[in-house]
Structure 1
Amino acid sequence: MAITAVAAPSMRPWRRQMGVPRWGAVVGLAVVGLAVERWLEAERDQLVLWLPVMLGGGIALWFALPDPAAWCVAVLLLVAGGLACLAVGQGGRAARALAIGLLTAALGLGLIWARSEWVARPVLGGPTIARFSAKVEAIEPLVARKLVRLTVLPVGKGVETGGQPISLPYRVRVNLAEADAPNLLGTGAVIQLRARLMPPPLPAVPGAYDFARVAWFGGIGATGRGFAPVVVTRSSESGAGIRVALSHHIVSRLDGSAGGIAAALATGDVGAISEEDSEAMRRAGLAHLLSVSGLHITAAVAATMLIVLRLLALSPWLALHARLPLIAALAGAAAAIGYTLLTGSQVPTIRSCVAALLVLAALAMGREAMTLRLVAAGAACVMLVLPESAAGPSFQLSFAAITAIMALHEHPVIRAFFGPHDEGRGRKLARGVASLLLTGLLVEFALMPIAVYHFHKAGLYGAFANIVAIPLTTFVVMPLEALALLLDAGGLGAPIWWLVQRSLDALLWLAHIVAGAPGSVRSLPAMPTAAFALMVVGGIWIALWRTRLRQLGLLPLVAGAIWALTTPAPDVLVTGDGRHVAVRTAAGLAMLRDRAGDYTRDMLAENGGVDGEPLLLADQPDARCSRDLCVTDIAARGRMWRILATRSAYMVPIAELIAACRSADVVVSERGLPKRCVPRWLKLDRRVLRRTGGVALTLGTGTVVTILEAGDRHPWRDPPVLERAARSFSSRHARLRDGAVQS
């Protein structure tokens, strides 16, 4: 009897062939080990996709653990675990996969640790006003705010207002009013200016944006506001740069925020978009159009390849003797790299550029291009070069979206339904719209945890808005803008710019309509990091596996979502300086001070889980406020909690203040309160807030969350680490920099 290939003895999953560890037979787990090996055999093509996941896991572990001792222990445990798996597993796939994963996680932790030490630069010790000379490193016009943002490298020492010399950080970022920016200002110019500088700020309250972390990895040691006059002592040879010049040119051709959106599509510069229109784009789920990423790179590469193919095909000799698709692919690769450099090489752009290059390489080799392996390769490349980007929303949103899309369209059912069909145009169009809608819904679902974790908001109608916005941007706005820029070389672009204006006005109209729809945005308070991690792990598990065990990812995903949704909003938010306090009253979130900037109001509202402007505490019926003090009562945990806060820097009679402290449960002040001011539960004055940073109080559970925690030794939060960074930044670096400037 003939033996088929399926029944051949060499294909039987013998225990030794499957690599079941010997210890499994000893403790009676051989059946489990064999089942695991069978499962991994079925998923063998997916195992490589977990390499960037484990690399990112190691990076996340560095951010989660508090100090170098914990980082060392984690690296040693990961390496020891990997080696133990290789020793005990005896060649089984499970043992090899686990060992490689643990060693990759150790590599990720080591990479981010080394990166944090490599970028260490001095940080300004405290607020100051100084006059100094500096070399302009980068210019970012903020047209909508009538500002120009400069990144400068100070030359030598500065002079404080009192005449005392001061050592300045290596890199400083300052904002100038447009009217104060001199005409000769450009990249490479040397300027003299006076500026009010301060260290990069920590998050104002728990859950807020951590600019100090971003500044640390960017080498920025101070930020501030520059004052006129700004004197150019050595002009720039290159001017403001191609990117800034192109942005100015585009903005000058269009009115309002349409110019800013057109500039964002071409150069990635979003400074000319008004805050109102930018907020509408975010609420409508269209903000991704303003970040140069896969959509824009794809359009640029496709247009370049199409033009090159058509032009080269005009030559019969080239069409017969040359591989025109390969030449067009090379031109598309050059366009992708050039576009990435032009737009500032942001993380989404780099990821999209790497993906485009891999797609072009796969096409040139005749391989399938759009796969999850492409996404994994792009993520690994970004994390190997910029490991800190894995903790940022840009990286997470970009790769979550493209992973969800690839995982969806690699599913056999989806591929069969939305693949090529022999049908009429109507059914083909309907199938395409359905595919776009399903993809949009999945992307919205995949991005929602990330948006809530970082921005505390989630859009609900973005999938429907993108059905119109993506084709409008890809097939109308971008081709028209490219044509208008091309015709501007001969002064003939005005009619095309009129069409660009109309199409962008339509895009903004759509954004405002969707953003203004009832329930368009859901605001939630800051979620626990552990809940976010559970949702991320569950989503990745579902996306990367192919067998039925992928459904196990629903367990952490649902658990994390329930945890996040049931996390109560904080009852009291206190900024790190003690000046601003938000209290959750019966009418809603209310602010202590009548005068607060737009950023402070928006930040407190977002982190308090409120969509809209916070109320004023003095206007609430359950609050009693004077010019200097404010008292309010909050019902929580079956009792009334009294909150006392100071509203001014004026002196309060000591007896009155001590009596008010004794009757309050929580006292908050930007000043240092006397020792005899003893509330019933918690005192947050200047001395305490200096150690804790911003504070969030949840009275119902008695939870106190602070920005600064005892034992946290991440460099941007630990003063001794900042001092060591300043000492380690030797004078040799300063001499090299000053010599480069003088030359």
Structure 2
Amino acid sequence: MRQQVPQDRLLRSSAHAPKLRWMASVAAAPSMHPPVRQIGAAAMAAAASGAVERWLEAEREQLPLWLPVMLGAGVALWFILPDDHAWTAALLGLAAAGLAGTAVARSGRLARSIVIAVSLAALGLGLAWWRAERVAAPILAGTAVASFTARVERVEVLGARDLLRLTLRPGDGAKDGRGQALPLPPRIRVNVAVGDAPTSGLAAGATVAMRARLMPPPAAAIPGAYDFARVAWFAGIGGTGRGLRKVTLIQPASEPGGDLRRRLTRHITHRLPGSRGGIAAALVTGDEGNIEEADDQAMRRAGLAHLLSVSGLHITATVGAAMFVVLRLLALSPWLAMRVRLPLVAALAGAAAAIGYTLLTGSQVPTIRSCIAALLVLAALALGREAMTLRLVAAAAFVLIAIWPEALAGPSFQLSFGAVTAIMSLHGHPRIAAFFGPHEEGWVPRQVRALGSLLLTGLAVELALMPIAVFHFHQAGLYGAMANIVAIPLTTFVIMPLEALALLLDAIGIGGPVWWLTAQALTALLALAHGVSDMPGSVTALPAMRTDTFALMVAGGLWLFLWRTRVRYAGLVALVIGAAWALATPAPDLLVTGDGRHLAVRTTSGALALLRDRAGDYTRGMLATNGGLDGEPLLLSEQRDARCSADLCMTDLVRDGQRWRLLATRSAYSVEWSALVAACASADIVVSDRRLPRGCKPRWLKLDKATLTRSGGVALTLKTGRIVTVRNSDDQHPWIAPPLLPRPAMTRSRFPFNRSGAGYPTAYPGSEPDAGRSVADHRPGWPDRDGS
């Protein structure tokens, strides 16, 4: 056994003693012992970097799923940022981040992921900007009555309202009410009464002459409401209005069968009158205008409105039926079964059915999106790959965002991809897949397991879509998961096959019995919708959600759905915070429309009271929905604290022990100047649809025509002092409408690199939006309660 020699003895006896003593002294020097904190920080950074690299390595199969997310983040950035200076700065910032990441991209997967992410975000921002410029077209700057000829691009039947919606391309030679030449946008949309339309020949490709009252596409009436101006901009629609006289058919549609969609809708509604025919027509042609308002509202409250919009469910049913029929028919031939790859032929038939169904239903963006996804699934099947995966969903989303970046901002895109992502993520979880996968068991346990899978899937979809529904529609259904368990199989396996069979049998005149069966199934669907919608608490109404709250919840949901390791559960934290934030946001106390004609006041009981007694159904519903009210609003003139005449209305609002006095005009008649000035002086807030005199000086806020023209609709919360406006003074998105001009004229958006605007009349000098701040910046501060 070797003996251990003490170190001091070794140093004395070794020939290298001087060198060893020098090394020992160096090791003992203070400079060789840095603070523990320095070494700890470096070690922590190295450990964190290594942990991130190991995590990304474990999630390497999930990284491609984030490609459409980052592309969409760039598109969202373009919608959020206000003007071209901000867009340019964002592009430069993203490019700088990408270049910096490229310089260190060899250091690991994290750097490469950052480079790809910022590059895709920059690409998305550029695509949205380019798309907005690409579709740029002149818009009407004011209301006009015009007589013109136009070529029909699209005809939509709104049978429940006895209207036809025509998308037109006006020709030259339009005249205004005085017979003077009037330039019109290249594309307009006009509603025409059914009685004023020709009985035949009115279809895409026809030429008509008509007289209509036109106006610019309306922006959102109040914050959070539907912004048709943005939708119209990307659709190239520069004006909208209503026909005033009978439409004269100059030349009928030249394309054979050009009105097939309209004739098919008319045939179905003739076979099935009322809402049953409207739902049947919506399933076949996509026309939802024949559904009565009460039934349409019941479908929405029950969470079944997605059945009325031709999208993934309908495309899937059509493709599946086509593949099933073709495969079964071809399999009857032994020669074909032995020599031809029948599943490939069936997939081609399914693709043809998907494309044909998309064309039949009007080629709307949701239908095109579903068709593209179906074609990708069929391509995967033809290649022998697994069809339904999150990668397929990501590929479809990437393609659609690249082609139509504006679709990202719409509820249709968000709802459809949110639902599919939730379903695929849920059933891709190993435990869920193992529990609901194939088992060696009897028929009854297998059906119970299938029912549980359907219920869990419906619940997951409802929870995933709830933030989207609240953000866009300000309502969330509570029983939609249970209703869809019955409604989806009923629609997919009963109603749609029966309707297809009835249409086929109508070709030989024996479809009557099948139409009767279809009517019974549709009656059951409507009974289900009304039963669920009438249940207590079937719908929860919330006020308009903040954009940042919605973004937080979307980010949390994507983080939860797209990762596979335990890190994914951090998304639940973002979801909970976002939900708590949305629930804690107080409802606005005052909603004012952009024209100043209508306002809704929050009463002490939490209800809403409207200024004008004769507000239309659309206005009443819009104000109630955006104010977080599930029900019919009240009338301000009937409230105990209100004092209203035919021309003025004054009421006091008490919040947290403080009293606010509101004054609003409610007629077009003038009020005596001295009385109006005195009333303004006693009020904190004044609202009017006219330009008030300078002598009208309320103690805090004045919302008259001049202010509302710049700000658009206003939502005011007295408790927090938060004012939200539809427009901001620095918002330069192209669909933001300019102030109305003294006479009808044309305007177009301002871009740093506009296309040639030859032939586009420009706005009058001095008609640009006010360069000052928004209405939120006009307040001098909270007034003292004594009025000083």
Shift in Å at residue 346 of structure 1? 2.5
Which residue of 345, 353, 362 corresponds with 2:363?
345
Residue identity in the other structure for 2:484: N
Mark the runs of 5 or more structure 2 residues left unpaired by the alignment. 1-39, 740-745, 762-788
Q: Give 1:400's aligned residue.
A: 418
Q: Give 2:104's aligned residue.
A: 88
* CA–CA distance in structure 2, aligned partners of residues 669 and 328 of structure 1: 64
Which residue of 388, 395, 401 corresponds with 1:383?
401
Please list the CA deviations of residues 431-472 of structure 1 after superposition, one character each: whole Å capped at 9, or x if unmatched.
111111100011000110000000100000000001111111
Q: Give 2:572's aligned residue.
A: 554
Q: Give 1:563's aligned residue.
A: 581
Shift in Å at residue 722 of structure 1? 4.0
Residue identity in the other structure for 2:576: V
Point out the more displaced range, 711-720 or 576-585.
711-720
SS of 1:159's partner is coil
* CA–CA distance in structure 2, aligned partners of residues 27 and 222 of structure 1: 64
Point out the more displaced range, 241-250 or 132-141.
241-250
Q: Give 2:603's aligned residue.
A: 585
Point out the more displaced range, 304-313 or 81-90.
81-90
Which residue of 194, 214, 236 corresponds with 1:197?
214
Residue identity in the other structure for 1:163: G
1:42 and 2:92 are equivalent in the alignment = no
* CA–CA distance in structure 2, aligned partners of residues 578 and 134 of structure 1: 34
Distance 1:724-1:216 versus aligned 2 partners, 3 A rule: closer
Residue identity in the other structure for 2:529: A
Residue identity in the other structure for 2:173: K
Shift in Å at residue 637 of structure 1? 3.5
Q: Give 1:21's aligned residue.
A: none
Which residue of 264, 267, 291 corresponds with 1:246?
264
Give the structure with higher Rg (CA): 2
Q: Give 1:702's aligned residue.
A: 721
* CA–CA distance in structure 1, aligned partners of residues 128 and 359 of structure 2: 24
Q: Give 1:673's aligned residue.
A: 692
* CA–CA distance in structure 1, aligned partners of residues 179 and 355 of structure 2: 48
* CA–CA distance in structure 2, aligned partners of residues 44 and 631 of structure 1: 64
Shift in Å at residue 91 of structure 1? 4.4
1:632 and 2:651 are equivalent in the alignment = yes
1:164 and 2:183 are equivalent in the alignment = no
* CA–CA distance in structure 1, aligned partners of residues 758 and 198 of structure 2: 31
Q: Give 2:769's aligned residue.
A: none
Q: Give 2:121's aligned residue.
A: 105
CA contact (8 A) 2:136 2:749 kept: no
Q: Give 1:601's aligned residue.
A: 620
* CA–CA distance in structure 2, aligned partners of residues 227 and 487 of structure 1: 41
Distance 1:556-1:157 versus aligned 2 partners, 3 A rule: farther
Please list the CA deviations of residues 641-678 of structure 1 after superposition, one character each: whole Å capped at 9, or x if unmatched.
11100111212122211111111110001111111111
Point out the more displaced range, 332-341 or 431-440.
332-341
Residue identity in the other structure for 1:94: L
Shift in Å at residue 28 of structure 1? 5.9
Residue identity in the other structure for 1:723: R
* CA–CA distance in structure 1, aligned partners of residues 365 and 576 of structure 2: 29
- Once the two structures are superposed, the pairs formed by residues 271-350 of structure 1 within 5 Å of their partners are 271-350=289-368
Shift in Å at residue 565 of structure 1? 0.7
Which residue of 104, 110, 114 corresponds with 2:130?
114
Shift in Å at residue 259 of structure 1? 0.7
Which residue of 159, 164, 169 corresponds with 1:148?
164
* CA–CA distance in structure 2, aligned partners of residues 259 and 190 of structure 1: 29
CA contact (8 A) 1:622 1:632 kept: yes
* CA–CA distance in structure 2, aligned partners of residues 208 and 484 of structure 1: 40
Shift in Å at residue 128 of structure 1? 1.0
Q: Give 1:233's aligned residue.
A: 250
Shift in Å at residue 230 of structure 1? 1.4
Shift in Å at residue 732 of structure 1? 7.8
SS of 2:254's partner is coil
Q: Which runs of 4+ in 1 moved over 3 A?
A: 24-28, 718-734
1:125 and 2:144 are equivalent in the alignment = no
The Cα RMSD (Å) is 1.8
CA contact (8 A) 2:211 2:243 kept: yes
- Once the two structures are superposed, the pairs formed by residues 674-689 of structure 1 within 5 Å of their partners are 674-689=693-708
* CA–CA distance in structure 2, aligned partners of residues 340 and 650 of structure 1: 52
* CA–CA distance in structure 1, aligned partners of residues 338 and 221 of structure 2: 65
SS of 2:631's partner is coil
* CA–CA distance in structure 2, aligned partners of residues 298 and 685 of structure 1: 52
Which residue of 433, 436, 449 corresponds with 2:467?
449
* CA–CA distance in structure 2, aligned partners of residues 199 and 582 of structure 1: 25
Residue identity in the other structure for 2:190: V
Residue identity in the other structure for 1:621: R
SS of 2:651's partner is strand
Q: Give 1:659's aligned residue.
A: 678
Point out the more displaced range, 65-74 or 346-355.
346-355
CA contact (8 A) 2:141 2:737 kept: no
Which residue of 540, 554, 564 corresponds with 1:536?
554
Please list the CA deviations of residues 269-320 of structure 1 after superposition, one character each: whole Å capped at 9, or x if unmatched.
1111111111100000000111112211111111111111111111111111
Distance 1:151-1:637 versus aligned 2 partners, 3 A rule: same
Shift in Å at residue 255 of structure 1? 1.9
CA contact (8 A) 1:122 1:725 kept: no
SS of 1:719's partner is coil
Please list the CA deviations of residues 20-57 of structure 1 after superposition, one character each: whole Å capped at 9, or x if unmatched.
xxxx9978622111111100000000000000000110
Shift in Å at residue 89 of structure 1? 3.5
Shift in Å at residue 638 of structure 1? 2.7
Shift in Å at residue 240 of structure 1? 4.8
Q: Give 2:505's aligned residue.
A: 487
Residue identity in the other structure for 1:695: V
CA contact (8 A) 1:637 1:701 kept: no
Distance 1:27-1:722 versus aligned 2 partners, 3 A rule: farther
Distance 1:639-1:25 versus aligned 2 partners, 3 A rule: closer
Distance 1:733-1:240 versus aligned 2 partners, 3 A rule: farther
CA contact (8 A) 2:167 2:187 kept: yes
SS of 1:671's partner is coil
CA contact (8 A) 1:637 1:699 kept: no
Residue identity in the other structure for 1:155: G
TM-score by length of 1: 0.94
CA contact (8 A) 2:734 2:749 kept: no
Which residue of 660, 669, 674 corresponds with 1:641?
660
Q: Give 1:741's aligned residue.
A: none
CA contact (8 A) 1:573 1:696 kept: yes
Please list the CA deviations of residues 397-418 of structure 1 after superposition, one character each: whole Å capped at 9, or x if unmatched.
0000000000000000100011
* CA–CA distance in structure 2, aligned partners of residues 472 and 333 of structure 1: 24
SS of 1:447's partner is helix
Shift in Å at residue 387 of structure 1? 0.5
Residue identity in the other structure for 1:610: L
SS of 1:175's partner is strand
* CA–CA distance in structure 1, aligned partners of residues 758 and 476 of structure 2: 48
Distance 1:467-1:28 versus aligned 2 partners, 3 A rule: closer
* CA–CA distance in structure 2, aligned partners of residues 328 and 233 of structure 1: 44
Q: Give 2:10's aligned residue.
A: none
Shift in Å at residue 723 of structure 1? 3.4
CA contact (8 A) 1:157 1:168 kept: no
TM-score by length of 2: 0.88
Which residue of 557, 566, 574 corresponds with 2:592?
574
Residue identity in the other structure for 2:748: E
Please list the CA deviations of residues 318-344 of structure 1 after superposition, one character each: whole Å capped at 9, or x if unmatched.
111111111111111111121122212
Shift in Å at residue 172 of structure 1? 0.5
* CA–CA distance in structure 1, aligned partners of residues 632 and 749 of structure 2: 42
Q: Give 1:62's aligned residue.
A: 78
Which residue of 711, 716, 723 corresponds with 2:748?
723
